[in-house]
Structure formats: structure tokens, C-alpha cells
Structure 1
Amino acid sequence: MTEQFLIERPSFHPATGQAIFTYGLGGKSFTETLTLPEVDPEKAASPAFAKLLDLTAIVLGVSYFKLRAPFEIVAPNIALSEAERAFAIDVYENGLGEFYARNNLARFGKLTISAPHDAEAIKPIVALPDRALLPIGGGKDSLVSVDLLTAVGLDFTPFAVNPKGPIITSIDKIGTKPVYVTRTLDAEMIRLSKEPGYYNGHVPSTAINSMIAALCAVLFGFNQIVLSNERSASEGNVTFDGRETNHQYSKSLGFELLIASILSDATGGALKYYSLLRPYSEARIASLFTHETKFDRVFSSCNRNFRLTGNDGPLWCGECPKCHFVFLIFAPFMAKDRLLSIFGKDLLDNLDNEASFRELSGLAGQKPWECVGEILEAAACLYTLTRHADWHEAAVVRAVKADLFAQYGEPKLQAAMAECLTDSHDHHIPPALAAKVAAYAV
């Protein structure tokens, strides 16, 4: 018999705020729990919430599916429209693209999902107040969104799943009461992921957290989920199994448009989903971050702060590609003494980091499997530093300069930097809000 991944219909208990998700794979059963704040039972009884809970079960399932990555997914008690079925397949194919590439598993175009058909009837419109739920990741991006939303006067509430470290300290600095959700993964799944005969790897965490945010939006009254994903997130890493594989797929514009449509349909058009930073490059976001100093000592993009096991070390390890990339994009725009005070050391003046900066800028290897910006963007920032009074003598800048110029040429690097600082019109932000943000972010 062909191995199948089973997704059971989830349950929700308003008295405890617990959502229970159950999965089956290889004769084993797994249970995951979400614990939400105090819930209004009436809102939890709405058709929109029931539909979103079912879709959340589908998306959360990727963490368990990847243990064996079978070709068949079955959800016998979850009715899916054709659009929702396509969404589910996209999450399990492109959302797990890096996982497949790094485990050398060919699955694109080969997965099937069996579920009852849900007639695509228009869902009742949910009444949701005009305010935003803003996921906070602890890094620079969502904090730039805080600044922009504050400036244009859009009411927002910070949101996080399993908040820790820089997420908590950043939200404390924001000073607005957050919505926190506790996600408890099945311990047996975590154990098996380290055992022979089982796979492990990257999952589309933005897709997962977005579905959890959608549950909260309907329960607690928010008509917008505002992400902080930049345009660079749409660039992939490698080609595998006939298509581009992107570490940040669930942060890409393509996925944003797909999930926005699904969430809108589930709520009768009431719930909007978009990224406020989509018009911007990483470098442009870094330049906007420099306008505000209050988050300097609390934010971090270093993944060592967000491991399941936690981290008691510094906010920035100074050794990983994320640290190197963020340092690089800040350097052209931020005063050097401020940047050094944030990171605690000069990452561009240490030749041990040269290989990493070469990968980031396309001079060697491949784009790292990390949430970093475009290769040409990193090259353009390095080029800018070769002409910068504070940075042109830094060891790494001097070491890569000749190869940078030889590979790209000055005209291309100059044009790339100008492009980094030019806002894109390719986004999904509501037009009136986009106009207000553009007027402020100059």
C-alpha cells in the first residue's frame, strides 16, 4: 500500500482557547496544539473561522508530512474548493521546495491531495474592525512597518507565535499590547526528525504563522494582516527538479497573492493580507530603519536567537550569513559608530568573513539558504562601500573589490544600487495606504 499523509479535521475549544490538530503518517499519530488568548465563543462558531481552522490544519501539516514526504495527502473530513486544493498543493510543493532540494527528493507535480469537494459558494461577510494585526519577527523589517503604520495613523496590534528573545524585547519597545499564540509541536515528531529513516528540513514558517494570524484576525477583530516582506524575498536560491527553489517562498509576492485570495474568500472579502514593505529592497528598508534608534538594542535577525532550543548568547553572532548581510546593507546608510555599537564588532574588517560576503554577492558558491536579499543587491552595497570614506579600507571590502569590479563592472553596480533605492509598484498594498506610506517614506 502506498504511504499516505493523513490530515484529520481539527477541533477548537473556546473555553480553553485551544485548537487541536491531528495527523497520521506511517502508522503513527501526531497532535499539535495552538493556545490562543481568551475567545468569544460566538466568533469561534462562525463559518469563516471553521473554514480558516480547516485550512490552518492543512498548512500546519507540513511539519509532520516532511518526516517521510509521501506522494499522497488525504484529508477525508476537510472539504476543499478547487482554489483551496491548489493552495494546499502549492504549500506542500513550493513551500517545501528547499526541503526537497536539500534532501534530493523529486515531488514537484507529483503530489496528490484527496479531500471532499467544497462548492465555491460565496462565504458570508465577516464584520471586522478597520485595524491591522502586525506579525513581529524581532528583526528590522517588522519594526520599519511599525514606524510606517504609526506615521500614517493605521491602528495596529503586534502579533507573534511562541515569542522569545528579540520578539519580546521589540514588542516591549513598541508599547502596544500584543496578541500572542502558543504553538506546541508534537514531541514525537521532533524526536523522529533526528532519527534514521526520517527526513528533516526547512518549512514555510511565514505560511504557518500567517494562517495562525488569520484565526486571530477573525476571533479578535482585525480586517488586515500586515506582513513585512521585502521584494528581495521573491528571488530564489537554486533550480531543482525543474523549478526555482526559494528559501523564502512563503514570503514571496507570488505566495502573498495566493494566500491573500484564499483568506479573502474564506471571510467573504473581509480580511485583507499584504506586505507593507513589498515595494522596497532590503537596502531601502535598512535606510528607513536608520530613522529610528529606539530598537537598536533589542532587534536581531540572527537565527541563533530563534532556535527551538533558545539562545542565551548575544543578539548578533557575527558569524552567520544573516548577520553579514544585515551588517552589509546597513553600512551604506548608518553612521559607522552606531552600526558597530549594534553588532559589537566590525564584520567587514575580519577576513574570516570574506568567503561569506563572496557568497552573498555572487562571487562564489550559491546564495545561502537564509532570509537574505538579492545577490546583485549585496554586490551593489559592497560596491558602494568601496567608495565610502568609512568603509573603503575595511579588510573584506579591499579583498573583494577587484573581483567585484571584474565580475559586474562599475556601470552595472551603479545601476543596481540606484534600483535598490527605487520603490517598486509591484505590490498588493491597498492603494490609499500605499499613497500615504510613499509620501512618508522619502
Structure 2
Amino acid sequence: MNAPVPTVFTVFAPHFDAELGIARFGYALGDLHFEERLAFPPGWNAENAHTEAFGRILNLTALVLGVSYFKLLAPFTISAPTIGLTPSERAFILDIYENGLGEFYARNGLKRFGQIALETPDAAAAPVPAPKLAARTLLPIGGGKDSLVSVQLLESAEIPFTPFAVNPKGPILTSIEKIGLPPLYVTRTLDPEMIRLSGTPGFYNGHVPSTAINSMIASLVALLYSYDRIILSNERSASEGNVVFDGREANHQHSKSLDFERLIAGVLSDATGGGLGYFSLLRPFSEARIAAIFARETRFDRVFSSCNRNFRLSGHDGPLWCGNCPKCHFVFLILAPAMEKPRLLGIFGRNLLDDADKEAAYRELTGLAGQKPWECVGEILEAAACLYRLSEQAEWADDVIVSRLKGDLLTHYGRPALERAYEELMADSPDHLVPSSLASRMGLDAA
């Protein structure tokens, strides 16, 4: 990094064209200027677009989307001279630029925790008139198993919902086709100059909190199309971080964590006069428990994918799983105890636990070597418990990864700890934000 770092990242006032359904967001880094756009499908509520609540959410969205441009040079000051923030909104935005970018800072060796100044006017934490929203659910679909388990649970509880996605492609499209409900799609257009500069000499690149970004876009959709709640599909495992850096835990999945869920839920509620709810339906569950629920149906076997490497090209005819990334390794591992072996091999097209070349990868996932991968994978002990459980099953015990790691797992954790861990993975946690009325219909303990 040789280029001089500008001292300020500026976020300009966003604009929504209520006739065209296009939102524009402007940013500046020194002499560099950028514009990002969101295009909404026909059918928005022009009346809601002029409410105070929508204006508040639009301003917050501008600041959240800004992380993609801020990270090019990662200055220490963020200025939004026309966007007033309440104390809770200020804390929310700082959390995104500090903890949400935790992985980005750690991997680029940048120390920013507690050092970023957010310069905006103060806004009073006064009550906001609630916009008119219908009692219905917006469900973001990511193309992986988690949101599809939310589909299964909502269907079982007979709760109507609308699938939602930003720039849908591959498994998102094929999964929604299988769901069989009319979706809502938003087109997000990043500034091409930002894309060009990312990672070029003199500029940084790295992970951004995509769940936070998509959640803010979903909140705009909720107001424009009249939905009173957004249901996410983030599991309890997402709260575990990867490494400690600069005196704080850096978590690849920070914007999927329970701490972040509490922050954003409170901010969205306050900004809409209590009109908009936000929570994760899967928060009570471990990844292993989600895998067991997913395995109850075969409907999505040939269309879902959690593989980020092949995601852009995958679809009905493309490869859904690369078989070589941490996501592939982890999803295969947690599905293995939950479904018949031939079915799992049919989904992945190969046996990832019978490939000696993947030993190092599974040692990382199970905490036997290295650090937890920078990916959306479950807890280390969770992976260890699942692999140990497979070692006790005849159809998996002789596979090379299972047989090689069993002894080391027993030495490192001990048999009682591994058995107890798996039992706990199948138990639902009461630490969640699922409303009591919905929790009772799902058989969950109230939050």
C-alpha cells in the first residue's frame, strides 16, 4: 500500500426516485467519486416512499452500502454531513465499519478498532410515525441450505412469505423456482470504478458484511412493498469468531451474529416507529441441527448450493459444488450424519471424506490445526463432534478422513466431550429473537 490515504470517506445524501423506483448513493474518497444504484421492481408504494421512516432507512442504507467504497483506502474518518444519526444509529454504523469489517482489517493488517471517527449531525431519538405495513413476511433467499430450512419451517407453520433476493443468480433462482412463490428481486449496481480499483496496487480489497448490506436493502423493500417483518436464516454458530486481531475477535460472519441481530433489529424498529420487525428464524439451531431439518426433504437436493466458488456459474446445468473450498467441506460434513450416504454423494458428486488430499482442510475445520477458515462455516467443536459421530457409523468409519482424524479428535477433546457436544448440537437454544407467538408454533422456548 504505497498511495497516500485520504483522511476522510464522505457519504452523500441518498436519493430515491419514486417514479422510476431507483435509489442512488454517492460517495467520495479524496478525489475519487462513486455512485451505487438500487433498482426496485414495479409495484412500490409511493406513499411509503415519502415517509420519515423510509427516509431514515434510506440514510442508514447509504452508510451501510458505503463499506464497499470505504475499504479501498480505509481512512480513519467517515463523514456524512447531511445524515443525522441518533446515538443507537451511530453505534450501529460504527459496529459495521469496525466489527463488520473485522476480517478485512485482520487480513490486511489494518488497525482500526476504536479509532474510526464518524462525523455526522446528531439526530434526536424522537418517536417516528410508523408507516402502513401489512402483516406479512419477507424472506431473503441465499441459495444455500439455511434459507431453505426457513422455507420448510414457515411452510410447516402455514405462515405465508415472499422470497427476496438481491441480484439473484444460480442456486438462488433455482431454489426460488422450487419454492414456487412469486419473488421480489432488487438489482444492485456497484460503481464499476470501485470494482476496477479493488485489489489493484495502492488499494485494498477484502470481505464486507454482505448480510448487513442485504438486510438494509431488504428493509427498503419491506417499506416500499408493505411487509412488517424480515425473517433471516442465521444460525447460532455464526456468532463464533475466527481470530483475535487488534484486541478484538474478528468474525467472518459478524453481520450474521446474534450481537449484530440485536443491534440492527433495534435500529430498524426505532427508525420505523416499531413498524418493522427483524429476526433470524434459525438462531436457536446449530448448523448440525439445520442439516438434520434440511434432510427431511429432497425437494432442494439438486438446486441448492453453499459453495461460493462455483456460485456465479451454477444453476440447473452448472456445477453446484467445487468440492475444494471450506464451505463444501463443512456442508458435506454436517449433512453426512443426517442423510443416507448415497443421497449425499449424489448431491456432491463425490465423497469428500474419502479424499486424502482434504485432510489438512478437515483438520482446520475440527480445530486440530491452523485457524477456523475465513468462511461461513460452523463452530469448531461442532465440526469435531460431527466427524467423531461419523467414526462411530459403519458406512463412514473407514473413509480416509474419518479414520485418520478419529484418534486425534479423541486425544484433543476426549470421547465424553465429543458425545456431549453432539447432543447439545441437537438441542435448541433459548437465546434468540424469534417472537413468542412464532416460537410456540415451532415448538421453541420463548426468547
Q: Tell me the TM-score normalized by structure 2.
A: 0.96
SS in 2 for 1:292: coil
Alignment map for 1:208-287 (pairs within 5 Å): 208-287=213-292
Which position in structure 1 is the counterpart of 2:73? 68
Q: Residue by residue, what CA displacement relative to the aligned partner does 1:166-212 show, whole Å, maximum 9, x if unpaired?
A: 00000000000001000000000011113111100000000000000
> Higher mean Cα deviation, 298-307 or 100-109?
298-307
Q: Residue by residue, what CA displacement relative to the aligned partner does 1:286-337 show, whole Å, maximum 9, x if unpaired?
A: 0000111110000000001345x88984101111110010000000110111
Which position in structure 2 is the counterpart of 1:428? 433
SS in 2 for 1:148: helix
Q: Is the 2:64–2:93 contact (alpha carbons within 8 Å) kept by the matching residues of 1?
A: yes
One-letter identity of the residue aligned with 2:423:
A
Which position in structure 2 is the counterpart of 1:326? 331
Stretches of structure 2 lacking an aligned partner (at least 5 in a row): none
Which position in structure 2 is the counterpart of 1:336? 341
Which position in structure 2 is the counterpart of 1:147? 152
Identity within the alignment, % = 63
Which position in structure 2 is the counterpart of 1:49? 54
State the shift of 1:154 in Å: 1.4
CA distance in 1, matches of 2:437, 2:18: 36
Which position in structure 1 is the counterpart of 2:8? 4
Q: Residue by residue, what CA displacement relative to the aligned partner does 1:379-418 show, whole Å, maximum 9, x if unpaired?
A: 0000000101210011110111111111111001001101
Query: Using a 3 Å threshold, how does the CA distance of structure 1 residues 439 and 235 change in structure 2: closer, same or farther?
Result: closer
SS in 2 for 1:304: coil
Alignment map for 1:349-388 (pairs within 5 Å): 349-388=354-393
Which position in structure 1 is the counterpart of 2:404? 399
Q: Is the 2:82–2:120 contact (alpha carbons within 8 Å) kept by the matching residues of 1?
A: yes
Query: Using a 3 Å threshold, how does the CA distance of structure 1 residues 2 and 67 change in structure 2: closer, same or farther?
Result: closer
Q: Is the 1:223–1:271 contact (alpha carbons within 8 Å) kept by the matching residues of 2?
A: yes
Which of 162, 186, 206 matches 1:157? 162
Q: Tell me the TM-score normalized by structure 1.
A: 0.97
1:26 paired to 2:34: no
One-letter identity of the residue aligned with 1:131:
R
CA distance in 2, matches of 1:218, 1:112: 30
State the shift of 1:438 in Å: 2.1
SS in 2 for 1:391: helix
CA distance in 2, matches of 1:123, 1:359: 48
Which position in structure 1 is the counterpart of 2:184? 179
Which position in structure 2 is the counterpart of 1:17? 21
State the shift of 1:435 in Å: 1.2
CA distance in 2, matches of 1:310, 1:129: 35
CA distance in 2, matches of 1:211, 1:70: 23
State the shift of 1:43 in Å: 1.6
One-letter identity of the residue aligned with 1:288:
I
CA distance in 1, matches of 2:311, 2:62: 23
Aligned length: 439
Which position in structure 2 is the counterpart of 1:190? 195
State the shift of 1:213 in Å: 0.1
CA distance in 2, matches of 1:124, 1:36: 24
Q: Is the 2:6–2:73 contact (alpha carbons within 8 Å) kept by the matching residues of 1?
A: no
One-letter identity of the residue aligned with 2:333:
L
Q: Is the 2:353–2:399 contact (alpha carbons within 8 Å) kept by the matching residues of 1?
A: yes
CA distance in 2, matches of 1:390, 1:145: 30
Query: Using a 3 Å threshold, how does the CA distance of structure 1 residues 310 and 346 change in structure 2: closer, same or farther?
Result: closer
Which of 416, 419, 423 matches 2:421? 416
Q: Is the 1:166–1:305 contact (alpha carbons within 8 Å) kept by the matching residues of 2?
A: no
Q: Is the 2:428–2:444 contact (alpha carbons within 8 Å) kept by the matching residues of 1?
A: no
CA distance in 2, matches of 1:227, 1:254: 14
1:137 paired to 2:149: no
Which position in structure 1 is the counterpart of 2:124? 119
CA distance in 2, matches of 1:320, 1:170: 21
Q: Is the 1:165–1:305 contact (alpha carbons within 8 Å) kept by the matching residues of 2?
A: no
CA distance in 2, matches of 1:359, 1:238: 13
CA distance in 2, matches of 1:417, 1:2: 50
Stretches of structure 1 lacking an aligned partner (at least 5 in a row): none
Which of 182, 206, 228 matches 1:201? 206
